[in-house]
Structure formats: C-alpha cells, structure tokens
Structure 1
C-alpha cells in the first residue's frame, strides 16, 4: 500500500517543518509588525507538499525528491536572507524569473552569494541524485505495470497539467481587487510578514498567471503640443545616483561639505532636488518603468515588483511613444547586455526605435568592471552627431549608465587610482563608499559634458537634459551608522533655453512630465 506509516510521517514532516523554517526568514532591515493571515497557515503545508510532489514527479525517486525539497527550502532560506541583508527584502516569486540573469551577468549575483556557497549547494544536490539513482528504486518501478519510462512520463504529464490548472484557478481567484481585499499590499516585507515567505512564493506566482492588468496602465494622455522649435531631450538614468552631500552632512565634522561638481551644475542653471523612487539598492526596472511610463509604481499591483516581467509587454503609453508621435526620433542606449531585465524585448515595446547595447562598446574604455561613463558619453555624442547628419527630427535619447554598479569591493579601481588615498580623503572613511563616490563624480562629468559644456558645440536646436538615480546604493550599514534613513535619490534638470525654476521634491513617475514641461510642451496634466 502506498500510504504506509513511514510515508504518512514523511508527508506530515513536510507539512510541519516549513513552519519552523519560517522563523529563520529575515524580513526587512526592521521587521514589520504584522499579524499572520489565515492563508499563512493554509498555504504553508500546501506549498511544501507541492514542492515535494513536483520533484517526485520530475525526478521519480523518493530521496531525490526530498533532496530537491531540501535544496529549495534550505537554499531559498539562505539566499533570501542574503538578499535581505543587502537590499532589505526577502526573496519572492519574481526573483525566480531573474535566475536567468545568473547566466547573463553572474557577477551581479555570485559576488553577493559567494561562489563557495553556490558550488557547495549544487555539488550536494548532484551528489544526492547520483547516490539515489544507484541505490534507490523509482516510484514508477514500485507502482506501475507499465514500463518504467512510460509510467514516469504519464505521471509527469498529469502532474504538470494539474499544476497548470490549479495555478490558473488560484490566479483567477486572487485577481488584483480581491487580493487587496484579502490583505495583499504587494510591498514585499509586509506581505511576507503576513502570509509567510514560502506561501507567498505560491500566491505571487499564481497572481502572475492572471492576465488582468492594472487600470493605471490604460491611461491615455493628450497628444503633445509645442509652440516653437522642439528641443532635443536627453534623459539619463544614472546607476545609484544621489546627492552624496545628504550623507556627508550627517557625518560629524562635515556638516558644511560641498560636492563641487553638483554645485557647479547649479551655478550653471541646473535645478536639482530629491526624487522618491520605489526601489532601494536594486530593482532598477521599477524606477525605469515609472519614469518612462509616468505610472506610480504603487498602482501596478503585483507588477510593481518587476514591471518588465509582465506589465511592459502590454502596449503601455510611455514618454518615448508620446515623443515619437510628436515627431521625435527615439533611441535608448545602455552599455550592457540588452537581454538583462529582458530589455531587448521590453525597450522596443515601450516606443524606442533604436536600442543600442554592449555591442556598440566593443573595446570601449572601462572604469572598474564596467563600461565607463566617459565611453558612454563618447557614444552618446556620436549618436547625436549621426542623427543630425541624417535627420532634421528632434531627438529623444534615453541613456542607462552602468559604471557605478556595485558591489564596490576593495581592488575595484586599483588599476586606475590609489584606493587607500581615496578612502582617507572621503568623509565617510569607508572604502566602498569612497569608490562609489568616484563613480558619482564621473556621472556628473557626463551630465556637464552633454549639458553646460556642450553649448558651444551644438547646432541651433535647443537641448534639455534630465538625470536621475534609479535607487540608492546598497550601503545599509554605512547609512544606518550615520542615521541616513531617507530612501529618496536625486534628479538634475538643465536647459539650454535658460535657468529652470526648481520644481522641488518629485516622484520618479512625475519627472517625465516635468522634463516635457521644461522642454516647452503645453497642456500637460498636473
């Protein structure tokens, strides 16, 4: 009989152990005080059994299935806590889709997880599989009169169908409106505290199968209207940019520190200010989508965590589509692999006629591990020159920097400068932040080059520049040490048509319209 006492005890253990593991899940830098929802107690054993049965159907052996279960529950616990330690939020279902990024940019992840940990986990799992195949009979050989391979294939097909149907049903039940009524906020820390880490994986994955999208994505704007010569518009999303004086002013003895490159831009007529963004430490796509679409990230429901996973595929109106309809040529340039965050598919869908990636930077200078902002500036100037030689259309150029991407480990810039001297000269006396600050100097040099310093080299078409940070750098310990708790980044706006009246603190989804207004477009919504 299949349901023997040992089998029953095994399934009971699989249902109970996850409740113990949940106690090891770290939630946020400061754990939210949330009461567990009833779905936590229902979802925890169901999720655990689904994981085990899925491995059992796929791999066909009891102990291999258990090894898979241990890999998922143990591995997710460790990786989730590592992610939380850096970014202040646990692992969620959306992160599973980004696992493909391990093969695109392994250094973005392996450097944080550690190659030794990764190899140990993978090696243990592979070793367990080999031992189990040698010494353990399969489910199919124990249960079926069919040939073993046929019984295994039939069981796997039936299980895949069952999972797909169940996922669709659960996803339909947890549609956006009902999910919010139940208590889902789509703030990761709050939802993990309420519903549990492992059940939330199941709930979020099911919601992603629901095709209903946020009504906020269906908003249509009036066509853009401009009374005169339309200026070129250059927008830059600068990796982890923020006004570093906001930190330095909290460090004893540095309350009057002045970041000279930024002050020079202000003297040249640039407006600067704080910018609220949905992301912190990572999740670039949240701020990027909010800027381009003009949509408040909080209004996206399940898509707020990764808008590029689903929302951006649905024909969203963006800054690029609006400017393209107004006669602009639209180009996006990013000196990195275009497949990251699926930008190779997403960026054209959001209205860009050209998307220039790492292929244009072969042999380009680097500053640290990545293409330098100086090399990015060279390419941007070349793009502008080529455009002016072949077209009389105004240009919308959106650039995404990468030079300052973390982590900022010792030795990162050793081939370019004296890191020890840089650390000693920095008010933070922190090696990582001193290296990061050097990258911030470079991004301001890029802005100055394309803005105030470019005025004598430009044709008679005006130019408007906008720069903003996608999120703050993942420097939680340093920030906490000095009481720096503000999660906002900063923006810079400059126009060749004259000084800009400072618009004050903005949200990133408002910055696009603000830029259009400074470019002279009329009839924009408030």
Structure 2
C-alpha cells in the first residue's frame, strides 16, 4: 500500500531528502569514532567540515535520484555506498592501523584475497548503522512518486554532477579555501587525516592526490644537471651472481622487551652481523603492502613521494620501467624473479617483465611443495631459487640475478598457523592471545633464518663470486591495532615519538659474499638505498641513478613520511630545510622517470 499523492506526502519526501544525508553523514563519522559523544565533539569543533561531508552525500543522493527516478533506490544506493566505505575504513583502521584510501579501490583481487584471512566481527554501532539505512529504505518504499521525464532527469543529473565537480575543484583543489573551512591536508599520516578531517572529507582530500603534480623546477636541464653531477663508481668491476631475498614480515622479535625465547630465533642473522654487512631498512610499510618495499629496493624510487597508501605496481608500472633488473639484464645477467604465491598478486605477472626480469616463477611452478603455516615454506622457496640458478648456469655462463619473495611467515599468527612448533616465545604477564601470536610468529622467523643458512651453505661451495642479501619487507601485523606491540610496551597508546616510528618501520637486512667478506654495520638506511649501498660495498658497478642515491645517502641516511634519521643516527620527526631540498631533488628525478617527459632516459641507468 502506498501513500496518496498529497502535500504531506511531498513534504515527507523532501524531509527525507534533507534528513537522510544528514543522519548518514553522522553515521559515517560515528562508525569511525565509535561513540556518539566523541562524534558530537568532533562536529562541534569541525562544523564546516561536517557540512562539507553533508554536501557530498546530498549531491550523490540527488544524482542517484535523478538517475533512477526513485527515492527508495537513491536511499538504498547512497546508504549502501557510504556505509560500506565507512565499514571498510573501520576494519582497515582496526586491522592495519591505516585508513581506506581511494587507490585501495584498484586492488580488486588482492583485496578479496586479503579479506579471506581476516576475521570480521560486527559491533553494535555497525548493526545500528545497517538498521538505520534499512529503516529509511523501508520508509521510502511507501512513497508514490510521479514519473519524471527523461529531459528533467538528465537536467537534474547534470546539475548534480556539475555541482559536485565545481565544488571539488573550488574546495579540494584550492588549499586556501580548504584551510578557511578548517580542512587541512595531512597526507603523511592517513589516520590523523581521517580523525581530523573526518572520513568523507579525508577521502576527498586523498582523491585530489591521485593527480600527481609536477615538482617545482622540473626541466630537461635540471634533470641532466643532477645526473651529471654524480661521481660515478667506475673502479668497481666485479660481476657476481646477485641473490636478493625479501622475506615476508621478517623482523627481529628479540627487540621486544620482556620476551623469553627457548632458543635464539636468529642464529644465522646474528652470525652475519658479526662478520658481514648488516643494518636496518627503513620502509614506508607496516603489516602489509609488501610490493611497495619491493618496488623501492628494485628501482631506487621512494614511496614517500607518492600518495600515502598508494600501491606502485598496480597503479604506476604499466610499461617498461628501469630497475636494477633491467640494468643487470643489459650487463649480460640472467634475471629471474621468484614469488611463492599467485602470480597475479600485485600485478607481478605484468610488472616483472616490465622491470626487466626475463623469467618469473610463481606458486604454480612449484611441484607439490611443502606448506608451512598457510603458504609455501621458505625452505621450498630456497630450493626453487637454487633450482633456477642451476638451470640458468646449465644454459649460460652469464652471471645470475635472482630476486626472491617468500610467503611462509605471512599473517595471521594464530593456533592454525603452526600447530607444532620447535621454538617458543613467551612474555610474562601477557595475555594468552599475545603469547600465541608470538609463538607462531617466532617459528616463522626461525624458519626464515634457517632458509638463509641453507642459501649461504650452497653458495659457499660455488666458485663464482656471489652476493646474498636478505631483508624484511615490513614488521608483522601482530594483532589488531598493534596489540602485541602495545601490550608489551614497545609502543605507547598515544602519540608516537620519532624513535617509535623508527621502531615500527625498520626491518633487518644482512648481505654476505663469498669473495670479499668484511664486517660493516650500515645502521639505518632507506629501502631505496639498499642495492646501491650493498652492491657498491662489494665492488659491483652501479648505474648512474644508483650512484646518485649513494651520494645522497651520505647526506640523508634515512627518511620517510614519518621520521628522518640524521648522520649520527638520531631520529627526528621533522627534517631540516636543506634535507627537504635534497629530497625534492630525488623526487624531481623520480617524477621524470615515472610521470614526466623522461629526459633522464639513457642517462639514468647508464654506467
């Protein structure tokens, strides 16, 4: 039964048009802040920001109304769209300590795969939100609406779209207008961005950042001057086999205070720290986004210059892209990429050839491999690496570059990961959940260390000069909202210091060779410095771009969106102005390579 067309009926319809976006906007923020009081406090302090969010929802609602010519469908689509976005943001915040950003929408299969391993529990707030949207939807089903002509619908839809675009351009593309309404761009910390600006406005600010702006001073002359100013390391002339292993979630759990281990979980790493090259890798990632660290190491480019939360492989590598692999390929190397997981993940099946890998080995190329935890074991992955090396050597005397990415120690770390363990870890006074996660994670670390031991044992017997490098991509996600780290006092509940950022974004690395082994502690370095620093120390000739990074590392040892490390190894939240200028020069070269006119082509990876 439907209401008869009447003035009351029309009033009810337009009340819905006004009230529904208002309450939906409140709900979106409520789901992020979890209490009505906190949500109301935020609205009181940021009324203009709240009204901008209201305007966004209203224009979307009106657009869908004219598109479908029904209030109920506009209510359902708009409600579902913003409610799902708010829920995704909530779960990502809880699980990863990071926000839902526009470029997450491009993950597709990766996102659905990640969700398979996540346990989602709906809170009363979420159920209330779903009920709220449902009630409004049910109420609009009883509305009897006049038929709208296609011309009127087209005009209405056009007006809403144009209004949205004009509003976006005049507000989000204009820093002065944003600041006048109390909206500030905090793209280096998306959690702070969303807490301060609200989910909707924070998301729209990020949408603006999809547009990559040309750096100041960008020109052919500026690019060439930077590259021509580099001191080329021409005295280096060794062409060793180069084995690089990026080990999933590899970290040093002995950094956690108050944790007791049944044995040393890192005997090989600790041995190499005494006799080979070692240090700490500053990355932009925590708990995931492995491919971004991989991108930095292989290309020398920095993720800190790209929108926070961006994924380099699926977003930016669409054609041939200069990297360490392409340089070594030009130098006569056989180049092989190995990843013990599905080849489409992070677009590696398309990206690896673009980076210069002649061959890509994925999980489907393993023959009945051993599964440890939920994935192919590190030991099996190392066997595949050695197998590919031997195949390459049987076909050619060319030096071998093998870049291997493991999967065994990927989250979650629950009772199903390692039902039986040969190493244990426990923290006195910690919860059962924390100790279980520690136990399982440490088993994976022990397996990773043992796999490295096997690699070195094999290449110790090889007569050809060979380098083996192993590093972690990011710290493990040990529980929702940094549960293990917080419960054990590794980081605080509140604001982080520069040292806390350093602790949460640095992973260990070691580098061994069989021809000129010497001890060197490189301290904390950026992920994009790893190849230049390690290969140069082992007498390998570098491309000009890596020589540039090597020079830069002397001035800026490590920096990210969160923390800066000076020449004395001291962590700071803010870098000096001269350091910012150096960073801008790096961005200028990277911009030319990624988005610009490629003035550096022919120079960048020249010796």
Q: What TM-score, normalized to structure 2?
A: 0.69
Aligned with 1:189 (options 170, 187, 191): 191
Alignment coverage as a number of residue pairs: 492
- In the alignment, structure 2 segments of 5+ residues that lack a partner are 1-5, 492-502, 552-607
**How many Å apart are 1:243 and its aligned residue?**
1.2
Say if 2:313 and 2:347, in contact at 8 Å, map to a contact too.
Answer: yes
Matches within 5 A, 1:442-481: 442-451=447-456, 453-458=457-462, 460-475=463-478, 476-481=482-487
Matched, 1:290 2:296: yes
Conserved 8 A contact 1:286-1:304: no
Aligned pair in 2 of structure 1 residues 42, 517: CA closer, same or farther (>3 Å)?
Answer: farther
Cα distance in structure 2, aligned partners of 1:243 and 1:99:
32
- The alignment status of 1:489 with 2:492, answered yes or no, reads no
Is the 2:343–2:362 contact (alpha carbons within 8 Å) kept by the matching residues of 1? yes
Match of 2:207 in 1: 205
The SS at the match of 1:509 is helix
Cα offset for 1:440?
0.9
Tell me the residue number matched to 2:581.
Answer: none
1:333 CA drift (Å): 1.1
Q: 1:212 and 1:305 mapped to 2: Cα distance?
A: 15
Residue matched to 1:328: 333
Describe the SS at the equivalent of 2:192.
helix
Distance 1:464 1:36 in 2: 57
Q: CA RMSD in A?
A: 4.3
Partner of 1:299: 305
Which of 52, 62, 67 aligns to 2:76? It is 67
Q: 2:489 and 2:533 mapped to 1: Cα distance?
A: 31
Change (3 A) 1:509 1:145: closer
Are the aligned partners of 2:471 and 2:509 in contact in 1 as well (CA < 8 Å)?
yes
SS in 2 for 1:313: coil
Shift of 1:312: 3.1
Aligned: 1:240 with 2:243: no
Q: Matched residue of 1:235: which SS? A: strand
Aligned to 2:173: 173
8 Å Cα contact 2:184/2:197 also seen in 1: no
Q: Is 1:392 matched up with 2:410?
A: no
- Determine the C-alpha separation between the residues in 2 that align with 1:323 and 1:26: 50
| CA shift for structure 1 position 63 | 2.0
Tell me by how many angstroms 1:494 deviates.
1.2
Q: Distance in 2 between matches of 1:256 and 1:457?
A: 28
Instruction: State the Cα distance separating 1:293 from its structure 2 match.
Output: 2.2
Deviations 1:191-245 (A, max 9, x none): 223332112223323432x3546689x8869787564330111111111111121
Cα distance between partner residues in 2 of 1:411 and 1:64: 43
What's the counterpart of residue 93 of structure 2?
Answer: 84
* Pairing 1:16-31 to 2, within 5 Å after superposition: 16-17=22-23, 18-19=25-26, 21-26=28-33
Cα distance change of structure 1 residues 307 and 224 upon mapping to structure 2, 3 Å threshold? farther
The aligned counterpart of 1:251 is: 258
- Shift in Å, 1:166: 6.2
- Among 495, 501, 509, the alignment partner of 2:528 is 509
The answer for the alignment partner of 1:12 in structure 2 is 18
